[in-house]
Each structure stands twice: as C-alpha cells, then as structure tokens.
Amino acid sequence: MAGKMLACLERSFQRGKEGALIKGRDFYDLLWFMQKQVHPLEEKLARDGVKAYTTRSAMLALQEKVEAITKNDLSVDLMPLFESTVFVQSWVDSFHTNFIDYLQKYL
C-alpha cells in the first residue's frame, strides 16, 4: 500500500496530449487498499518518496490531490480496463465520497 500511496502522490503521468495528469488505476488500487483497511509500511513511506511521509502526512497530501481529481481524469484511464462501463461510471461517481469515508480510518 505504501508504494501505491507514493505512486498516487508522485507519479508523473499524462494520457494523451491534453489528457488526465493522474493514473486512474493507481487511485482505484489505493481505494481498494483503503476499503480493506490495509495499513502501509511506515518505513517505506519515510524512505522511498521524494520526501519522507508518515501515514497521516501522506493521507493528508492525498486528500489534497484527490480534491483536484475530476471524474474524467479517472474515467479516461479506467474505462479500457473494465468490460462494464456502468461499473466504472458508478465507481467514478462515488470515488470522492468513498475516499473521504475511508480516509477517517487513517487520520
């Protein structure tokens, strides 16, 4: 989970010339970890990022980043990965709410 948190915070990514600047799959995986209440390795967060994080500081930084993510940012990367567009749209529609709900367990 720590690696996925760092990827969400630090990965440079752009789909297309003017596409999403985030990798939707990273945030899909992050939410899965959070839903399962997995706790990241503090050592990896402190050691492997551009800066040292704790779970709390990483989650607060992720919260800030998530607030700027649009539904389109997520959809662009996730739609090709799933057969069901209805599933992806439902997941994208609830992403921000679910993130905030799961976030409370990490703060």
pLDDT value at position 107? 92
Q: What pLDDT sits at residue 9?
A: 94
Q: Which residue, 53, 74, 50, 51, is CA-closest to 1?
A: 53
Contacts of 60 (CB under 8 A, 6+ apart): 107
What is the structure's pLDDT at 18? Answer: 53
Beta strands in the chain (DSSP E): none
Q: Tens digit of pLDDT per residue, the chain (107 long)?
A: 999 999 999 987 655 555 556 788 999 999 999 999 999 999 999 999 999 999 999 999 999 999 999 998 898 889 988 898 999 999 999 999 999 999 999 99
pTM for the model = 0.87
Three-state helix/strand/coil letters over 17-47? CCCCCCCHHHHHHHHHHHHCCCCCCHHHHHH
pLDDT of residue 22: 78
Q: How many CB atoms lie within 10 A of CB 59?
A: 23
